[in-house]
């Protein structure tokens, strides 16, 4: 049976992590990823003539497998890697990790066992890289991403910067317009490329949308990380990418024939935040590449040094995106001068504020600054997004959800102005704020204060203003408002307050029963039915060799568009339900289907991963299930009788007390033993009757349990037989209709429930807040105080 992708990657990480030994994850990744590289190269190119990568004799993963248990396994793995490196000009790239390092891997048998086990982890049928490429539907791209995220998470605050979260990388790839490339000669550059994840996301965005394989350039100063980036390029089918190891600021490598910086069509970067030693090795005031024409950054903060290097590296039509700490938006001094000059030149197209604690190596909030030189002269404003609140907790980090990424990209690319989230800010307004770009100056994303109405507390009634704030609901349910509220008669000539027409406990029922809510419910249900009708053929049409990722892209985009115009429901929330279900269930099912086809039986066993037995029972054996449910109910009824008897007669002096075991339980044996002891005891007839009645219940429960067990066994046999009899059409009905679409329908219904719960909750809150006016509270307080005084006097406590 095909292994689940989710299980494969989690078991891969768990196994690798257990073998880590004396290294932290930032070091251990070099060993694991080298093995992943060798496995991939061997699977893809071994035995092929004129292959892009040569796998020499004595330089393959198979040679590593043959070493399991060998006393010299560490040294011999180094030789295998060296052979592969020499054959492909990869010295200093794949041979940076020493597999014979006793301090990190252990000595003697410990090293042999650790390396043997590590090789075995990758020597599994589940990790077959033949014919796969990254970001299609291959296991390689997903396995690599999974491992890198976990290595970054486990590497600690100062060592996880080699990896930019995939979600942030994807946003940057989608907002720079790289999907509009027109030639493979167009170029992409990352000046602090780390492991290359940012470049690869942008490259794949262009490739997937246009089919063009644009040219990649990257520079990274850390030796091991630069090597990782080179491996990464090959692993992701970009072997011609040019990666250079050196300090970009002091020794930029990519230059034009005249010695000036080479310029690129697209630049993406996630440079180290606020580095203090940015000017080591050169004098910024005498920079030969004229990068700091907008101003020299502070001596101990290099954010604007990297920023200006990006601007200098962009062609006149170039576009880019860079991740920087929020401080670059508002810090003064030299940085304020640089920011003013850049804004006046129109180079900044937009700013996207991201949640805090998103990036590895730092917990501070960051932003993406989107650059566009091509349209700079005509730019009259900067599009700003405050996306700081859209995330979920993921371990000790925050993580953007699929819906957060999609909303950011849609909003930015379509320039959609949204209250408390996004707006196009005129440069004149920014100038009036002294070129400060701090997002809260322009977007108030704070929650509105829930103000209390003093007059309502004094006189009663619910303020119209509070009810009016629910206008989004009343636009859809105008008659619901009229049914819930009426004008309050306060006797003070006040006509700006309402009273609730129903009891607070009936608010939800009133909303649910109203024809307007029923119509809204039907509208949403019909929209889902329309989406279901249009997309069911895609689901039932899954065939071996298909690309599940392409499928989920189509399904999710269709669902998003279906619900985009629905009031009160956030289409991105509905979209996230599908993506969550994809991650939890649908991905593994689709992965199995494209490898195994629509099979109800695999390897002679029922395919319960794809078709859970509950689905078979519900569709084919519902009567049998109901009969078992009744038998279980009968058994439970007997059990309750036994509990009642025990509670009533099993106390210390009860008639059943002496029939219990040492542990205070009533069993068949203990009751029988007690009855035997009481035989012929005419004074204990009442106790004997109670014991005999309880024993009868024990026997009845035992018989009932046997009936349940026998019926369940018979049903299980029928279910197993049914798997073998299923046609492909029946399998598709069970999986697509009964499993996938039923689960998604429940998720959509949960959004309807959320609408009613939100409205109900707010109305109840308002009703309870103003239920008792202050004068009445004062009156009640005086009454209670008087009663207390009376009680105290009766107790003899008297005072003046």
Residue showing tokens 């892009």: 52
Mean pLDDT of the chain: 90
pLDDT classification of 799: cutoffs 50, 70, 90:
low
Which DSSP state fits 733?
A: I
**Residue range 33-56: mean pLDDT, rounded:** 87
Tally Cβ neighbours within 10 Å of residue 23: 17
Tally Cβ neighbours within 10 Å of residue 116: 17
**Cα(485)–Cα(497) distance, integer angstroms:** 10
**Cα(652)–Cα(20) distance, integer angstroms:** 59
Most confident residue range from 107-116, 117-126, 149-158, 734-743: 734-743
Which of the pair, 214 or 799, is modelled with greater confidence?
A: 214
**Residue range 183-208: mean pLDDT, rounded:** 93
Q: Check if the beta carbon of residue 203 is closer than 8 Å to that of residue 210.
A: no
Which of 459-473, 481-495, 624-638 bottoms out in mean pLDDT, i.e. has the lowest? Answer: 481-495
Q: Examine the pLDDT at 10 and tell me if it is beyond 80.
A: no
**Cα(518)–Cα(507) distance, integer angstroms:** 15
Q: What is the three-class DSSP state of 62?
A: helix
For β-strands 264-269 and 314-325, DSSP reports them as parallel
Q: Examine the pLDDT at 136 and tell me if it is beyond 50.
A: no
**How many residues belong to the chain?**
800
pLDDT at residue 228, as a whole number: 84
**Kindly report the CA angle at 709 between 703 and 712, in degrees rounded to 5?**
140
Most confident residue range from 34-38, 133-137, 469-473, 794-798: 469-473
Give CA separation, 76 vs 35, 70, 377, in Å: 14, 9, 61
What is the dihedral sign for C-alpha 791, 794, 797, 800?
positive
Which of 18-32, 222-236, 376-390, 708-722 bottoms out in mean pLDDT, i.e. has the lowest? Answer: 18-32
pLDDT at residue 135, as a whole number: 38
**What does the pLDDT look like over 243-271, one tens digit per residue?**
999 999 999 999 999 999 999 999 999 99
Regarding pTM above 0.95, the answer is no
Estimate to the nearest angstrom the gap between the alpha carbon of 644 and the chain centroid. Answer: 48
**Cα(294)–Cα(296) distance, integer angstroms:** 7
**Residue range 93-114: mean pLDDT, rounded:** 91
Output Rg (C-alpha) for the chain, integer angstroms: 35
Residues above pLDDT 90, as percent of the chain: 68
Q: Examine the pLDDT at 791 and tell me if it is beyond 80.
A: no
Give CA separation, 121 vs 17, 118, 145, 551, in Å: 11, 5, 17, 30
Q: Examine the pLDDT at 524 and tell me if it is beyond 50.
A: yes
**Residue range 204-228: mean pLDDT, rounded:** 92
- The structure tokens listed for 646 are 């025990």
The secondary structure of 457-504, three-state, reads HHHCCEEHHHHHCCHHHHHHCHHHHHHHEEECCCCCCCCCEEEECCCH
For β-strands 392-394 and 422-426, DSSP reports them as unpaired
pLDDT classification of 362: cutoffs 50, 70, 90:
confident
pLDDT at residue 730, as a whole number: 97
Q: Check if the beta carbon of residue 530 is closer than 8 Å to that of residue 727.
A: no
Give the CA dihedral 685, 686, 687, 690, nearest 10 degrees: 120
Phi-psi domain of 190 (left: phi exceeds 0; alpha: psi -120 through 50; beta: other)? beta
pLDDT at residue 378, as a whole number: 94
Q: Check if the beta carbon of residue 362 is closer than 8 Å to that of residue 157.
A: yes
Q: Examine the pLDDT at 695 and tell me if it is beyond 50.
A: yes
**Cα(630)–Cα(597) distance, integer angstroms:** 38
Q: Examine the pLDDT at 350 and tell me if it is beyond 50.
A: yes
**Cα(406)–Cα(206) distance, integer angstroms:** 17
- The structure tokens listed for 432 are 């009036």
Q: Examine the pLDDT at 154 and tell me if it is beyond 90.
A: no
Estimate to the nearest angstrom the gap between the alpha carbon of 50 and the chain centroid. Answer: 42
Q: Examine the pLDDT at 691 and tell me if it is beyond 60.
A: yes
Q: Examine the pLDDT at 800 and tell me if it is beyond 60.
A: no
């Amino acid at each position: 049976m095909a292994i689940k992708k989710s299980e494969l990657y989690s078991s891969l990480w768990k196994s690798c992590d257990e073998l880590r030994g004396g290294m932290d994850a930032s070091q251990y990744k070099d060993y694991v990823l080298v093995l992943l590289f060798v496995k991939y190269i061997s699977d893809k190119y071994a035995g092929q003539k004129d292959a892009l990568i040569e796998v020499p004799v004595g330089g393959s993963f198979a040679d590593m497998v043959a070493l399991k248990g060998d006393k010299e396994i560490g040294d011999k793995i180094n030789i295998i890697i060296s052979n592969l490196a020499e054959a492909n000009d990869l010295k200093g790239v794949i041979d940076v990790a020493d597999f014979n390092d006793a301090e990190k891997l252990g000595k003697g048998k410990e090293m042999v066992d650790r390396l043997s086990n590590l090789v075995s982890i990758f020597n599994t049928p589940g990790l077959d890289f033949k014919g796969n490429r990254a970001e299609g539907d291959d296991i390689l791209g997903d396995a690599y991403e999974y491992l890198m995220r976990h290595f970054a998470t486990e590497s600690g605050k100062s060592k996880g910067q080699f990896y930019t979260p995939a979600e942030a990388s994807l946003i940057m790839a989608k907002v720079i317009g790289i999907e509009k490339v027109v030639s493979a000669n167009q170029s992409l550059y990352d000046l602090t490329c780390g492991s290359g994840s940012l470049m690869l996301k942008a490259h794949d965005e262009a490739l997937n949308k246009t089919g063009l394989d644009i040219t990649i350039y990257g520079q990274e100063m850390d030796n091991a990380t630069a090597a990782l980036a080179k491996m990464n390029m090959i692993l992701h089918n970009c072997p011609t990418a040019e990666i250079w190891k050196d300090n970009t600021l002091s020794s930029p490598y990519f230059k034009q024939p005249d010695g000036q910086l080479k310029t690129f069509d697209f630049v993406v970067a996630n440079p180290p935040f606020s580095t203090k030693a940015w000017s080591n090795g050169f004098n910024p005031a005498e920079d030969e590449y004229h990068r700091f024409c907008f101003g020299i950054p502070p001596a101990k903060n290099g954010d604007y040094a990297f920023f200006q290097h990006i601007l200098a590296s962009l062609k006149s039509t170039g576009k880019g995106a860079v991740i920087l700490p929020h401080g670059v938006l508002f810090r003064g001094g030299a940085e304020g001068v640089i920011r003013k000059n850049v804004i006046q030149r129109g180079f900044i197209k937009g700013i996207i504020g991201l949640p805090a604690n998103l990036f590895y190596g730092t917990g501070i909030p960051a932003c993406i600054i989107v650059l566009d030189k091509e349209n700079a002269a005509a730019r009259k404003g900067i599009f700003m997004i405050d996306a700081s609140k859209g995330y979920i907790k993921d371990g000790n980090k925050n993580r953007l959800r699929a819906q957060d990424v999609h909303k950011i990209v849609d909003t930015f690319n379509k320039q959609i102005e949204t209250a408390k989230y996004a707006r196009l800010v005129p440069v004149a307004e920014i100038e009036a704020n002294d070129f400060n770009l701090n997002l809260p100056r322009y977007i108030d994303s704070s929650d509105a204060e829930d103000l209390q109405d003093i007059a309502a507390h004094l006189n009663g009634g619910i303020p119209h203003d509070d009810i009016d704030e629910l206008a989004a609901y009343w636009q859809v349910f105008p008659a619901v408002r009229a049914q819930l509220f009426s004008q309050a008669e306060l006797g003070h000539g006040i006509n700006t307050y309402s009273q609730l027409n129903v009891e607070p406990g009936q608010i939800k029922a009133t909303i649910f029963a109203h024809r307007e809510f029923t119509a809204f419910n039907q509208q949403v249900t019909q929209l889902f039915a329309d989406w279901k009708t249009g997309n069911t053929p895609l689901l039932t049409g899954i065939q071996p060799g298909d690309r599940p990722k392409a499928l989920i892209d189509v399904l999710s985009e269709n669902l998003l568009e279906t619900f985009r115009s629905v009031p009160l429901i956030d289409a991105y929330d509905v979209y996230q339900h599908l993506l969550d279900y994809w991650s939890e269930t649908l991905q593994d099912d689709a992965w199995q289907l494209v490898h195994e086809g629509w099979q109800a039986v695999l390897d002679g066993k029922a395919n319960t991963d794809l078709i859970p037995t509950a689905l078979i029972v519900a569709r084919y054996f519902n009567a049998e299930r109901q009969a078992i449910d009744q038998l279980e109910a009968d058994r439970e009824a007997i059990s309750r009788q036994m509990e009642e008897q025990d509670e009533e007669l099993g106390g210390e002096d009860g008639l059943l007390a002496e029939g219990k075991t040492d542990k205070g339980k009533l069993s068949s044996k203990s009751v029988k033993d007690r009855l035997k002891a009481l035989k012929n005891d005419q004074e204990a007839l009442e106790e004997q009757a109670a014991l005999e009645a309880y024993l009868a219940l024990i026997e009845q429960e035992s018989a009932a349990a046997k009936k349940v067990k026998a019926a369940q066994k018979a049903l299980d046999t029928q279910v197993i037989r049914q798997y073998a009899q299923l046609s492909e059409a029946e399998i598709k009905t069970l999986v697509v209709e009964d499993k996938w679409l039923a689960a998604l329908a429940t998720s959509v219904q949960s959004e309807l429930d959320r609408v009613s719960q939100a409205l109900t909750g707010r109305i109840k809150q308002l009703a309870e807040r103003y239920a008792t006016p202050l004068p009445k509270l004062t009156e009640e307080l005086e009454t209670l105080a008087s009663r207390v005084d009376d009680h105290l006097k009766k107790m003899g406590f008297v005072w003046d």
